[in-house]
Amino acid sequence: MPHLTLEYSKNLDTFSAGAALLDINRALLASGQFEEADIKSRAIALDCCQIGVQDLPRAFIHAKLAILSGRSPEEKQRLSELSLQALADSAALPPGVEVQLCVEIQEIDRASYGKRFIAR
Amino acid sequence: MPHLTLEYSKNLDTFSAGAALLDINRALLASGQFEEADIKSRAIALDCCQIGVQDLPRAFIHAKLAILSGRSPEEKQRLSELSLQALADSAALPPGVEVQLCVEIQEIDRASYGKRFIAR
Amino acid sequence: MPHLTLEYSKNLDTFSAGAALLDINRALLASGQFEEADIKSRAIALDCCQIGVQDLPRAFIHAKLAILSGRSPEEKQRLSELSLQALADSAALPPGVEVQLCVEIQEIDRASYGKRFIAR
């Protein structure tokens, strides 16, 4: 934890997902809330999307940040805002497409979260 | 919001995920609960699945509908039911395979949800 | 339900996701908490990952187990532990890579969960 999942519609062919992950990870690290190696992020390109019911040039990038339960509403808002800002800064978006950028914060139940670190 | 994620086991080769997304989006729009352009749906074909522990012809389609927190239990049930009905109506399923269709409703914490709309 | 999702960074090329799913399903079945055919598991290989902000040989495998709401904290901890153990037992991990294995338990709202079983 934290686990970040970035989903984006594949019509955003100018979007560099790897660079965006690194930028968001840097912002999360700078928040002072997380250990560096704990920030685990992944991006998933979505081949099959449907926004609304109309056939228009639309796209979205959605970030879900999953953190252990127990943080205050203010901390969660701040993590959401800095993730959204990092995403907006890093996303080179194509003209002529309506793009929705979204961030949600999801809590992971702390008591049942398990983790092992394996190095050999 | 809402965000719909449709996952399906790839042995359902007759399932048209794009058409199912459009049908579900139409049903969600018809519910009167959402703005048209806000309904963001994606489908993910699952290459690697395991249902139970037996080697049988089994498949599943799972829809997760994530909505902002604050709706009543009755509204959530209604959204679940109409999504399941739209999915069942649109899914041309192969014979000889046991298929499980599932819908879950997940809440997104409203206070920390962030969104930007970019058009240029 | 339950729904298990196993995500793993694609640099784990010795990891056999299909075998891991079967091992975890067997452990979940042995817990006595679930019907055999209800255990629906999938694995997703992640092409694009970023752990922390450094360029080091790192990897992760993350299991999310989604179960209907209402189980006790002790039951959830036990399900997390047995999933983590099954994952650790089944994962042949490469040398020279730091690997994080994680398990989270997520609750699905029971009242709005819908399911249909179709066989023909």
Within a domain: B116: no
CA of B83 vs chain A CAs: smallest distance (Å):
14
Q: How many structural domains compose chain C?
A: 1
From first to last of the 120 residues of chain B, give the pLDDT tens digit.
899 999 999 999 889 999 999 999 999 999 999 999 999 999 999 999 999 999 999 999 999 999 999 999 999 999 999 999 999 999 888 899 999 999 999 999 999 999 999 987
Coil vs helix vs strand at A85: helix
- Interchain pair A49, B40: CB under 8 A: yes
Within a domain: C119: no
- Interchain pair B37, A58: CB under 8 A: yes
- Quote the tokens at residue C62: 């993350």
- Quote the tokens at residue C96: 């020279």
Nearest CA to A116 out of C63, C66, C22 is that of C63
CA distance B32 to A86: 33
Residue C38, by phi and psi: left (phi above 0), alpha (psi -120 to 50) or beta? alpha
Of A108, A117, A120, the CB nearest to C104: A108
User: By residue range, what is the domain housing residue A17?
Assistant: 3-108
- Quote the tokens at residue A91: 């996303």
Within a domain: C120: no
Within a domain: A23: yes
Within a domain: C113: no
Within a domain: A84: yes
Interface test with A, best of C53, C67, C87 (most A CBs within 10 A): C53
pLDDT tens digits, residue range C29-79?
999 999 999 999 999 999 999 999 999 999 999 999 999 999 999 999 999
CA of A23 vs chain C CAs: smallest distance (Å):
9
What is the CATH number for A103? 3.30.429.10
Within a domain: A115: no
Within a domain: A113: no
Q: What is the ipTM of this complex?
A: 0.95
List, in sequence order, every beta strand (DSSP E) within A2-87.
3-9, 40-46, 48-51, 58-68
